[in-house]
């Protein structure tokens, strides 16, 4: 089996229009699972390393911080689904390594 650590580095993914997310694969060692909902929010927060093209109501770039990431998680289902689908991309790449 050959392990390629580059498969666990953060990658930029285009969302819609000019919006992009820098997403890193979730490390299960960082999860503190008290309940499933909290665990998913924690996973989402960890996975988003940065973004481009998201502005606040003042038309200035919205800072990528825990508070704003939590806001996206709570109120934007399409973004939440997008990030979790990209996690599947990382998982599939890692699964391929195990088969080689």
pLDDT of residue 43: 87
Q: How far apart are CA 81 and CA 1, in angstroms?
A: 31
pLDDT over 70 (residue 11): yes
pLDDT of residue 33: 58
pLDDT of residue 31: 53
Q: How far apart are CA 43 and CA 84, in angstroms?
A: 9
Continuous segment of H or E residues that includes residue 82: helix 77-99
Say which range, 15-19, 55-59, 85-89, has the weakest mean pLDDT.
85-89
pLDDT of residue 3: 64
28-86 tens-digit pLDDT? 555 555 655 667 888 899 899 999 999 999 999 999 999 999 999 999 999 999 999 99
């Amino acid at each position: 089996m050959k392990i390629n650590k580059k498969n666990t580095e953060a990658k930029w993914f285009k969302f819609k229009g000019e919006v992009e997310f820098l997403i890193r694969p979730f490390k299960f060692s960082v999860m503190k699972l008290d309940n499933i909902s909290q665990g998913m929010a924690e996973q989402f927060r960890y996975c988003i390393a940065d973004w481009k093209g998201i502005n606040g109501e003042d038309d200035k770039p919205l800072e990528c911080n825990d508070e704003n990431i939590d806001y996206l998680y709570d109120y934007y289902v399409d973004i939440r689904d997008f990030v979790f689908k990209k996690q599947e991309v990382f998982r599939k790449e890692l699964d391929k390594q195990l088969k080689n």
